[in-house]
Amino acid sequence: MEVDKMSNNEEPSNNNMLYLLAGVGIGAIIGAAAGLLFAPKAGSETRAELGDKLKEFKGKTEEWVNEQRTKRASKKALDEEVGA
For 46-57, how does the pLDDT look when each residue is reduced to its tens digit (9 = 90+)? 788 888 988 998
Q: What angle do CA 13, 15, 21 make, to 5 degrees?
A: 110
CB 53 within 8 A of CB 30: no
Span 23-68, pLDDT tens digits = 898 998 888 888 877 777 777 887 888 889 889 989 999 999 999 9
| Distance of alpha carbon 51 from alpha carbon 54, whole angstroms | 5
pTM across the whole model: 0.46
